[in-house]
């Protein structure tokens, strides 16, 4: 008998298997660490502001385009504002927009996919036609139109339409409105197969209503693909947010986001090409980390995909 077989086997619960597989995925693990650091950095913006004795929005025209130094670790922008601090505040906005939009889109997708798969029939064909149609649309042009509409004409009260954070909430809302399709299809597929399973039939036989069956019995069993799809969508959403903000249609100044920091950088591309580097790198690093994380979660949560 070999030594390996003598070793007492660890109890293998599904959760432990998942965690082991995730830890095996080194790129995903590194991404998780990077993301935690990025979130902490973004949240620490006010602290850093205090420690450095600077104000992220303070204009210092005598000190424009300063090179990196002890006082300004990443230099200053075209108005003499500290680049590092603005990146940290921009991170708060971009990360919030990415996560909030992904969650909202997942909720919408679940609310559409769950009844479609569970009830089937005409409701299913109607909702899935809707999903297919939204998938078939050219997203970016449509988002540009939605970002350009006048909230006053939509009947939004002026005090809300002019509040400073409205550009952030608007971006979250419009991207979620077109971004729910993947989750809807996954949830529908899961519901379609789960509704035939014995535990669901047992619940129905015991008199559980459709709401209980869908949300208590089917949804918890369909959660893995939702988590993977939502994680993978965060990256794409941050890219969309950044390009809309870059085009001047997303997050509006004075709120800094990684996208709108690049708008000014483009105008200054000949004078100060370095300005464009850091916000872009921040977006790049965040998106690639979310994509690796999603990849890792997919492998970890799906035992069949485990490599041979």
Partner 1 sequence: MTRYVLRRVIESVAVLLVMSFVIYGLMALMPGDPIDIMVQSDPNLTPADAVRLKALYGLDKPITERYGNWLGAAAQGDFGYSRIHNRPVLEILGPRLWNTVILMGLAMIVSLALAVPIGVFSALRPYSWADYAINFVALGGISVPVFWLALMLIVLFSVVLGWLPAGGMGMAGEAGFWEQARHLVLPVVTLSVATVGGLTRFVRASMMEVMRDDYIRTARAKGLPRRVVVFKHALRNAMIPVVTILALSFGSLFSGALITETMFSYLGMGKLIYDSIIGNDYNMALVSLLFATGLVLASNMAADLCYGWLDPRVSYR
Q: How far is the CB of 290 from partner 1 (least distance, A)?
A: 8
Smallest distance from partner 1 to CB 285, Å: 9
d(CA 259, CA 175): 15
Q: Which residues bind partner 1 (CB under 8 A)?
A: 27, 129, 133, 135-142, 144-146, 148-150, 153-154, 235, 239, 242-243, 246-247, 259, 262, 265-266, 269-270, 273, 276-277, 279-280, 283-284, 287-288, 291-292, 295, 307
Identify which of residues 215 and 306 has a Cβ nearer to partner 1 in the complex.
306
- Please, what is the minimum distance in Å from the beta carbon of residue 48 to partner 1? 24
In the numeric block, which tokens belong to residue 250? 């997303």
Strand partners, 252: none
CB of 27 to partner 1, least distance (A): 7
Q: Which is nearer to partner 1, 70 or 270 (CB)?
A: 270
d(CA 184, CA 52): 46
Task: Decide whether 80 or 280 has the Cβ nearer to partner 1.
Answer: 280
Burial of 39 (0-12, 13-18, 19+ CB in 10 A): middle
Q: List the structure tokens of 55.
A: 């104000």
- Encoding tokens for residue 90? 């921009």
Nearer to partner 1, 70 or 136 (CB): 136
Residue with tokens 């006048």: 150
| Nearest to partner 1 of 53, 121 (CB atom) | 121
What is the sign, positive or negative, of the torsion defined by CA atoms of 87, 93, 98, 103?
positive
Q: Long-range contacts for 152-155 (Cβ within 8 Å, ≥24 apart)?
A: none
Task: Give me the least distance between CB of 146 and partner 1, in Å please.
Answer: 6
Torsion sign over Cα 172, 40, 291, 295: negative
* Sign of torsion over alpha carbons 62, 66, 68, 69: negative
Largest CA distance in the chain: 79
- Shortest approach of partner 1 to residue 193 CB, angstroms? 20
State which residue, 159 or 308, has the beta carbon closest to partner 1.
Answer: 308
CB of 269 to partner 1, least distance (A): 6
Q: Phi/psi of residue 235, each to 5°? A: -60, -50
Of residues 112 and 214, the one with the C-beta less far from partner 1: 112
Name the region of 252 (left: φ>0; alpha: ψ -120 to 50; beta: rest). Answer: beta
């Amino acid at each position: 008998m070999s030594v390996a077989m003598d070793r007492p086997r660890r109890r293998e619960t599904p959760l432990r298997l998942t965690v082991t597989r995730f830890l095996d995925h080194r790129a995903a693990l590194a991404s998780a660490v990077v993301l935690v650091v990025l979130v902490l950095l973004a949240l620490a913006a006010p602290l850093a502001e205090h420690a450095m004795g600077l104000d992220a929005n303070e204009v210092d025209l005598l000190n424009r385009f300063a090179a990196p130094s002890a006082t300004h670790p990443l230099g200053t922008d075209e108005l003499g504002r500290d680049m590092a601090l603005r990146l940290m505040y921009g991170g708060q906005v971009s990360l919030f927009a990415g996560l909030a939009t992904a969650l909202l889109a997942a909720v919408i997708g679940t609310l559409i996919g769950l009844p479609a798969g569970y009830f089937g029939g005409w409701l299913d064909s109607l909702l899935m036609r809707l999903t297919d149609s939204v998938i078939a649309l050219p997203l970016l042009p449509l988002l540009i139109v939605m970002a350009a509409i006048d909230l006053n004409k939509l009947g939004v009260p002026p005090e809300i339409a002019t509040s400073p954070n409205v550009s952030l909430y608007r971006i979250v809302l419009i991207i979620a409105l077109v971004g729910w399709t993947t989750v809807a299809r996954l949830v529908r597929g899961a519901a379609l197969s789960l509704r035939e399973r014995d535990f669901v039939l047992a619940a129905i036989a015991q008199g559980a209503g459709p709401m209980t069956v869908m949300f208590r019995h089917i949804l918890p069993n369909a959660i893995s693909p939702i988590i993977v799809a939502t994680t993978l969508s965060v990256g794409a959403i941050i890219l969309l947010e950044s390009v809309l903000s870059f085009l001047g249609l997303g997050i509006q100044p004075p709120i800094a986001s990684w996208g709108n920091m690049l708008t000014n950088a483009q105008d200054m591309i000949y004078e100060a090409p370095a300005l464009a580097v850091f916000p872009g790198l921040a977006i790049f690093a965040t998106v690639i980390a979310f994509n690796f994380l999603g990849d890792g979660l997919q492998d970890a949560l799906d035992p069949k995909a485990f490599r041979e």
